[in-house]
Structure formats: C-alpha cells, structure tokens
Structure 1
Amino acid sequence: MADVSTRSWDRLYTTELSNYASNPEDTGTVWFDDSDAEAKMVHFLAELQENGESPVRTILDLGCGNGSLLRAVREALFADGVMDADQRSAPRMLGVDYSEASISLAQSVHNGFAEEDDENAVPITFRVWDMLQGSVDDLDAPDGWDLVLDKGTFDAISLGNSASQDNEDGAGPSVEVQYRARVLQLLRPGGRFLITSCNWTESELCAWMEDAEERARGAWLVQAGRVAYPSFQFGGVQGQTVCTVCFEKRIAAKGAHQSPINHA
C-alpha cells in the first residue's frame, strides 16, 4: 500500500496508543460503532453456529485496528474456551494490519484484557501484515481460514482508487480486484468471508466479490447471507449507512465447466 496511507494510519493509531497509555479505558476507535456493526456481525456469526453451519476454528481479521472485533467474536463463538485435544484442531484467531502502530495498540489493549481471561480462553494473536503485498505463507495457515473478517478495510483500500478493472497506468488489476483475489487465497474451500462497508452498497459489494472470471478459473465467492440494518429514505431512494454481506468460497470439481455468474 502507499507509504502516504501507511503514515496516515500510523499517526492515527500512534495517537490512540498514547491515549490508551494515559487512560486504559480509552481503547480506541470501534469503526461503524454508530451503526452497531460489530455487534450485528457477531450476532450473525453466532446464529450461523447455532444453526449447525460448518464449524469455525480459524479466524482472520483483516485490518484489525484495536482488535475489538476479534475479542467480541471470541466471546460469542468460543465461550467454552479451547476445544479438546482429540478434536480436529484448536481454534486460532489472528488479527493483521499493515500499520505497526495499529498492531501495537491491539496487543496493548489485548494484554490489558488478558488478566480477565479464563486460562482456557482461545488465544488471540496480532501481526503486522500487508493485505495486498504480504505473503500468504507468512500467516501459517496452509489449509486456508474458516472465516475472514473485514470491517472497513476494503473501504480504506479502495478509497481514492478508480473503480475500474485496471490501475491508472494500465499495468495490472485495480486494488479492488487484487483484494478479491487475495481473499480467495486466504479462505479454505467452503470458508466464509464477512465484510462490512460504508462506502459500497450491498449490490456493489456483490458486484466486486462475485466475479465471473474468478469462477471460470475454478474458485469464486458467492453471497451466502447478509445483515439487516435500519434503513432511511431520502429523495425517494431507500438506503442504509452501512452494509454487511457474507460470502462463501466455492471451488469447481475437477474437469467441471463453470457458467458465468449472472449479476442481473
């Protein structure tokens, strides 16, 4: 990502880290808190689990900020702590951000809550990692992640970039297209991607994430759910301040021919 953007986020999180050091009750910004997005995302995931959906064991939060979303998800999905050793695998929760100051804040806040954690609580770890340029191998998840979370990171990445399929210099795919390809790399087959945005509508997110070319290559995202928010009406048009959409990674059977996705 651009150095200017990195410095901007570092300044923000450096300030929040300083504020937290002065006042441990000030844990930093919770993005889209005015829309109660974090609680709604967590409730959506908890309902999936209650309905017997594919169990979630590994969770990756893209652009974790202060780490609040991972803590809330852990409380909802892993209330009983680490699973027994004879189960498939122990739960793993990782928050990544390309801002070193963000990871410092997330780790500091997490350490502050650690004293209250049960000894069997699922561990949460944090790592500096660039969503677009970092190596997927660095995350030590060879089988892919069961669940990938995004609350505002796609917004930040796409902010100021042309919503086209090519970079301005024509040298390659836009950051939005790179982002989608990276999400597909990160997810295991059948894995879920839950994203919240204030810059894109639900239909726009689906247009970005459900791509016919990806499907033709044998791995693609398909909408698998949504979160309902209060709507408003202005000038005869109905809308909402944020949207949250769940996608699932599908893969084609070997030798199968895939038809293009119809976005109509």
Structure 2
Amino acid sequence: MADATGPGEVKHLRPSELGTKEYWDKNYQNDLENGFGQEEGAELTQLESWFDEVDAPQKVLEYLTDEDFPLSPNNPERTTGEPTVLDLGCGNGSSLFELKLEGEYRGPMVGVDYSRQSVNLAKKLWSNQLEQQDEAERSEGSISFEQFDMLKDNPEQQPWWPEGGFDLVLDKGTFDAISLSAEITELRGREVRIVEAYPGKVVQMVRPGGYFLITSCNWTEQEVVRWFTATSEVKNALKEYGRVKYPVYEFGGRKGQGVASVCFQRAWS
C-alpha cells in the first residue's frame, strides 16, 4: 500500500477516503440513524469493530488483563491506584466498554474522536448501559466521550486531562486512518503528511512510565515499532514493551500477520 517515502524515515500510504473526517462523520451518522448497538438484547461488549475478523479486540483485552501486565486488575503485584485510560479515536466506544465491562478496569476512562457523530454514538450507547446498572455499578469508575482533534487541539487545556498524562493510551485503527489522510501540516519548519505528527502527539498523551498500545492492519509490527521509536518526533521517548500474538500466515514463501498490536512504554524522563 506504500507509494512514497517520508524524509528518510518512514513510508507513506496512498491517500484514501478512509483518511477523511467526512467519511467517518457519515459513517457514524449512519450508525446513529440506524440504531447501531441499540437493538433489544444488544451487548456493548459485542459491538462490531475493526479487526473482529482476527479476534484482535479479544486478544488485546486478554493482553491488558493478563496478570503480567503492570496495569492489569489481575496483576498481584500492582501497587498503584486504578489506572487512567485514554482511547484515541474512540469510534463507537467498544474498546473502553470491553475494558470496563469485561476487563474490570475501574479507573477514569476517556474516549476522544474528532468526529462529533462518533462521540454522540458512544455517549448514547454508554448512557443506555448506565440505565441498566445499579448505583454501585455506576460508581465504579467512569467513562466519558469527548470531541477532540489530537493533531490540532491542546490536551492540557481540556477538563478531562489528568496532570502528567494517562497511564494507558489505546489506538485501534486511528493511526491507520490518519496514515490514509492526504492532509498536510507543518512540522519543524517543513510541510509533511499529518501522519508524521501523530507519534509525537501520542507521546504527549502518555505519562512518564505509562503505556501505549496500538493495533494496526496497515503496518507490520516492524513498521509500527519504527514509527513510534525511531522517527525524530519520538526518538528515545517510547520503547517497545511487548506484542500481542496473532496467527502467522505464509504466502509465497513469506510469513506475516494480518494485524499488528504493539505495546510501548514511555521513558521516565
């Protein structure tokens, strides 16, 4: 899918309508109008989402709730309080719904998206869920959804921003979509595709010592690692912490995966 290279660092993907805000506004508006996730008996942990075909949502959930993951509720050695969680490009909110309802994460969670329709959909689905919960369940941590363009807006000016950043930041397909945008921005005095600004913005969202877990179907594991550890905007800020394992396919003598999920940890200084 790559057709050009960045400034000696990274490749770019060919632009697509999937990289436009108009596409996602229309997509989530359609979901709102057609009652997506609001059918009788619908469960928020069963919402359709990107990467369902390779069971990525469940595998990511298993990774984040494994007793070896430092922030996991199942980690017997966890000594910190309930972690704060940010979902970049929350879409219909499925990632946070799964993390809270199945993963038993109890800290404050925030889902952000530049699409107002996306935020409205996620808010509506969560509001419906809260109506079915008792008071004790509703008091166990919170989920909020906010319209926010991480490439243009300042997170520290937002009322939901925790001082120092979030303990855990998630990306499920957002980097993929931004990679398909033809939009140009200025970065260090030069004009670049906005995808080149994304890794640096991510670092700002993660507190020192915190974690960033990204799932991508447009980039290989090696390419994801390069984007978030070797480009000039993030060099030495993030280090690879772990990877989610998926089935490996072999075609034409080459092996690969249909999706990549990589977890990074931000340096303490």
- TM-score, scaled to structure 1: 0.80
Distance 1:116 1:223 in 2: 40
In structure 1, the partner of 2:32 is: 17
In structure 2, the partner of 1:260 is: none
1:78 to partner: Cα distance: 3.1
- Asked if the contact 1:78–1:122 (Cα under 8 Å) also holds between the matched residues in 2, the reply is no
Say whether residues 1:39 and 2:55 are aligned partners: no
Say whether residues 1:140 and 2:185 are aligned partners: no
Q: How does 1:1-264 map to 2 (within 5 A)?
A: 5-20=20-35, 24=39, 29-47=48-66, 48=69, 49=72, 50-51=74-75, 52=77, 55=80, 57-78=83-104, 81=106, 91-117=107-133, 118-137=137-156, 138=158, 139-161=160-182, 171-211=190-230, 213-214=232-233, 220-252=237-269
1:48-78 deviations in whole A, cap 9, x for unaligned? Answer: 1234357551000000011011011113443
- Asked if the contact 1:224–1:247 (Cα under 8 Å) also holds between the matched residues in 2, the reply is yes
User: Gaps spanning 5+ residues in structure 2: where?
Assistant: 1-16
CA gap of 1:41–1:54, structure 2 versus 1, over 3 A, is farther
1:161-206 deviations in whole A, cap 9, x for unaligned? Answer: 59xxx979x8334423311111111110011000000000000000
Code of the aligned partner of 1:238:
K
Question: Aligned residues, how many?
Answer: 235
Code of the aligned partner of 1:62:
L
- TM-score, scaled to structure 2: 0.78
Cα RMSD, aligned residues only: 2.8
Identity of aligned residues (%): 39
Code of the aligned partner of 2:242:
G
CA gap of 1:215–1:244, structure 2 versus 1, over 3 A, is closer
Q: Secondary structure at the match of 1:209?
A: helix
Distance 1:231 1:136 in 2: 38
CA gap of 1:18–1:131, structure 2 versus 1, over 3 A, is same
User: Gaps spanning 5+ residues in structure 1: where?
Assistant: 82-90, 253-264
1:211 to partner: Cα distance: 2.3
